[in-house]
Amino acid sequence: MARYINLLFYIIGITICWWGLAVNSGMSKGGRIGIAVGLIIIGLLPGFLYKNELIDDYKHPRMFLFSYICMSFALYFAWNSITLFFTTMFLHTALTLMYLDKKLISFQNVLSDLSILILFFYEIATHNVTLDQFKFLIVFLEINGVSFVARQIIDTIEYERLKSKEQERSLDDMLRVVEIKVDDARNAAKSKSDFLSNMSHEIRTPINAVLGMNEMITRESHDPQISEYSRNIASSGNMLLALINDILDLSKIESGKVAIIRVEYQLSTVVNDLMNMIKERAEKKNLGLKLKLNPQIPNYLYGDEVRIRQIILNLLTNACKYTDEGTITLNVDFANRSNKSQIDLIMSVKDTGRGIKKQDINKLFNSFQRLEESRNKNIEGTGLGLSIVGGYVKLMHGKIDVISEYNKGSEFIVTLPQKVMRRDEIGDFDFKFNKNIPSNEKSKYKPSFHAPKARILAVDDNKMNLIVVKNLLKATSIKIDMAGGGQECIDMIKNNIYDIVLLDQMMPEMDGTEALNIIRNEHLCDSTPIIVLTANALSGAKDSFIKQGFDDYLSKPIVPLELENMLKHWLPKGLIEE
């Protein structure tokens, strides 16, 4: 903007000078033209010095000040006007302010003072005095005062500008640090997720074979001793699987990827199942198992039934682990809230076990931390159970309290807000133990359906996994073809018609997703459900596979009943024989 004002000033100044010379001077026409040309050259001199371009960015502002002084004298000599002279010099200050250059203001001030002195002595020498000593002093002070104010303005503007730049620089530095930290956190999270995914796959794959083949032993063996061996294998395998699930659950909670899924449920069913799940473990240690339940609790509630089961089962399991003799008691009570459609469900697990020192209670919910390692070294587990419990309780907007006396026992009290669907009271509830059913009858397997006309394709690079699938479905009479890789799967689909495809994800050369894309893009079996069979049980895995185009998701190790239910859901109804 300053360069255009400079240009405008020169044009106006030259016009006024030329006009003044024409009116007030006895010079010839050629002399006046010469002076006008000289003024133009002086006025535009800085532009010529830089790039010889009139409106280019000015790189030599001090040269313009010198040009202003020359223009001031030209105006004075043309019109003999002290007013025009001072107007021009005061304009210097306004224009130098636009450059915001303190050194420029000082340079302008020196030139202005010098020009006033020259004019003052010139008038005394020519006896044409328009600027006496008093006026000279006033003008001198005015110009220096204006220059001083201009310097203060520039100082203030520069300070604010510098402060703003420092703040911007500081903010930029902070943002860069934050970006680096975020990138590091993302990379760490990705590395952790990749590690857990690989660990899940590598461990779940052999567990799938162990538990699957053991299931066949359980189904087909009639020897009591072998059945006992089989139950021990299943117990150890499920313990290992529970450990992996605990690690994955903790990872889900820490990454904030746990979804609270609320459904309507019956509290009586949940309590009955929990008591039955812990009964056998308590009996093995000769522990008493009691249930105290407020009969007025509403039976039909709305909440995350799965997480509630997991929370209380973890607490009951811990109570069994750390109680050597005595009793474990599950207390179930409630408290009404101001909102009549909601209650606080209060469930506590009380034991007569080893207890916890007061100073250790705050450490209970830390991940991978076990208290009194030397004392509890024979207790199985990793210390993740309570950390998972604390995470789930927090996600459900509840709270957990701990009351414990060392060497006498502990009580864990969980309070969870729940919505009441119906006010039907649970009543005098007595949980039903499966006491009178012989162990061989309980474990006797019966297929949930038959489908002798159905034909499915199982795809897995691990031959043992294919054998497991085939044996688990043997009793259903389904015809099962097997493929050892993605390309073999595609070739078999081209030559046969299948009702369902069970497709493993992690395979060499061509993984499940690549095989799926080829099958779908080439329209090899558009109407056939393709179910991904994977050891990836991380949070969000199912949603990810569904988005990739799979119709459903089944994780390893395969739970026989889940496999049957899934096939029963996707097989054409006409092929299923109940």
Q: Length of the chain, please?
A: 578
133: Cβ–Cβ under 8 A, 6 or more apart, which residues?
Answer: none
Tokens of 310: 């997991």
Contact status, residue 412 vs residue 320, Cβ threshold 8 Å: no
Select from 303, 309, 294, 298 the least CA-distant residue to 265.
Answer: 303
Report CA dihedral (99, 102, 107, 112) to the nearest 10 degrees. Answer: 80
Q: Which CATH number fits domain 455-575: 3.40.50.2000, 3.40.1410.10, 3.40.50.2300, 3.50.50.60?
A: 3.40.50.2300
Give the pLDDT confidence score for residue 329 in this predicted structure. 94
Helix H or strand E segment including 416: strand 409-425
What is the rounded CA–CA span in Å between residue 64 and residue 50? 12
Buried b (16+ CB within 10 A) or exposed e, 294-325: eeebbbbbbbbbebbbbbbbbbbbbbbbbbee
Domain boundaries, the chain: 2-131, 202-254, 261-441, 455-575
Q: What SS3 class is residue 423?
A: strand
Q: Which of 116, 101, 381 is nearest to 245 (CA)?
A: 381
pLDDT tens for each residue of the chain, 578 residues long: 555 656 666 666 667 666 766 666 666 667 666 766 776 666 555 555 544 444 444 455 656 666 666 666 666 666 666 666 666 666 666 666 555 666 666 776 777 777 777 777 777 777 766 667 777 777 677 767 767 776 777 677 777 777 777 888 888 888 888 888 888 877 876 776 667 666 666 777 788 888 888 888 888 888 888 888 887 788 777 767 766 776 666 666 666 666 778 889 999 888 988 888 888 889 889 999 999 999 999 999 999 888 898 899 889 988 998 898 999 999 999 999 888 899 999 999 999 988 888 888 877 776 555 555 545 545 555 556 788 888 889 989 999 999 998 888 999 999 999 999 988 888 876 655 444 444 444 457 788 899 999 999 999 998 888 999 999 999 999 999 999 999 999 999 999 999 999 999 888 889 999 999 999 999 998 889 999 988 776 656 788 899 999 999 998 888 888 899 999 999 999 898 87
pLDDT at position 501? 95
In this structure, CATH architecture of domain 261-441: 2-Layer Sandwich (3.30)
pLDDT for position 367: 55
In the chain, helix, strand, coil percent, each to 5? Answer: 60, 15, 25
Euclidean distance between CA atoms 520 and 103, whole angstroms: 75
- Distance, CA of 261 to CA of 248 (rounded, Å): 18
Q: Could you read off the pLDDT of 387-437 as tens digits, one per residue?
A: 888 888 998 999 999 999 888 899 999 999 999 998 888 887 665 544 444
Cis amide prior to 557 (ω within 30 degrees): yes
Which candidate, 398, 405, 293, 416, places its Cα nearest to that of 345?
416
| Helix/strand/coil for 118 | helix
Element (H, E) at 329: strand 327-336
**Residue 534 near residue 512 (C-beta atoms within 8 A):** yes
Task: Please report the pLDDT score of residue 13 as a whole number.
Answer: 65
- Cβ atoms of 262 and 303 within 8 Å: the answer is yes
Ordered alpha helix ranges (H), 423-570: 439-442, 463-472, 486-495, 512-521, 541-548, 560-570
Query: Which of 55, 20, 54, 53 lies closest to 36 in space, CA to CA?
Result: 20
The backbone torsions φ and ψ at residue 135, rounded to the nearest 5 degrees and listed phi first, read -65, -40
Contact by Cβ (8 Å): 203, 244: yes
Q: Which of helix, strand or coil describes residue 313?
A: helix
Among 303, 302, 305, 272, CA closest to 429 = 272
Per-residue pLDDT of 279-294, as tens digits, reads 888 988 999 999 999 9
H-type alpha helices, 256-332: 267-284, 305-321
